[in-house]
């Protein structure tokens, strides 16, 4: 069924995407503004997500887009690896925004006992597929543990893996 493109959407109007559901089982996630739903969109994605308790979106990178996450309710742990291979995680509650540069390895986790709700955006691509998503679950082992504030993880990764665009 073809989607009618329009300039205004409520997240509840967007059906779950089977590919995204397979990537993140149990998550409620809608890509609201993207090239599938909005005419003339060539550079941005905006979405809404609810992470269930004790869940995670594993390490990955977007080769074609920067990403921004803004927490509305609950808490998540957002992590990323800098160009020197240092992996840092941050506990993020309501009102906290996280920016991830194009090509940088990052992840979001909810190790807590309540759901977390946030919105996200990609800049530089108009869909998840066009963002150049690369799943790095097997290359970057991350445990779904709570973080209080901030912590640096003792990861030993291939230096070529951590270089970003």
d(Cα 135, Cα 133) in Å, to the nearest integer?
A: 6
* Alpha carbon separation from 151 to 38, 87, 110, 144, 148 (Å, rounded): 39, 9, 15, 13, 8
Mean pLDDT, residues 1-8 taken together: 77
Q: What is the pTM of this model?
A: 0.90
11 with 29: CB under 8 angstroms? Answer: no
For residue 1, what pLDDT is reported? 52
Q: What fold is seen in the domain 28-162?
A: Jelly Rolls (2.60.120)
For residue 65, what pLDDT is reported? 97
Q: Examine the pLDDT at 20 and tell me if it is beyond 80.
A: no
Mean pLDDT, residues 100-120 taken together: 96
pLDDT-above-70 percentage for the chain:
98
Q: Where are the domains of the chain?
A: 28-162
């Amino acid at each position: 069924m073809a989607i009618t493109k329009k300039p205004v959407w409520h997240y509840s109007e967007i059906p779950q995407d089977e590919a995204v559901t397979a990537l993140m089982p149990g998550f409620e996630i809608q890509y609201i503004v993207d090239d599938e739903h909005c005419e003339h969109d060539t550079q941005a994605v905006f979405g809404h997500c609810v992470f269930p308790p004790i869940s995670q979106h594993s390490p990955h990178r977007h080769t074609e887009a920067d990403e921004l996450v803004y927490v509305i309710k609950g808490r998540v742990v957002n992590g990323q690896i800098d160009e020197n291979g240092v992996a840092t995680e941050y506990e993020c509650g309501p009102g906290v925004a996280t920016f991830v540069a194009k090509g940088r390895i990052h992840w979001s986790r909810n190790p807590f006992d309540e759901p977390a709700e946030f919105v996200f955006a990609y800049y530089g691509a108009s869909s998840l597929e066009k963002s150049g998503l690369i799943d790095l679950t097997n290359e970057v082992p991350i445990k779904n543990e709570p973080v209080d504030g901030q912590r640096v993880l003792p990861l030993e990764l291939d230096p070529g893996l951590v270089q970003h665009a």
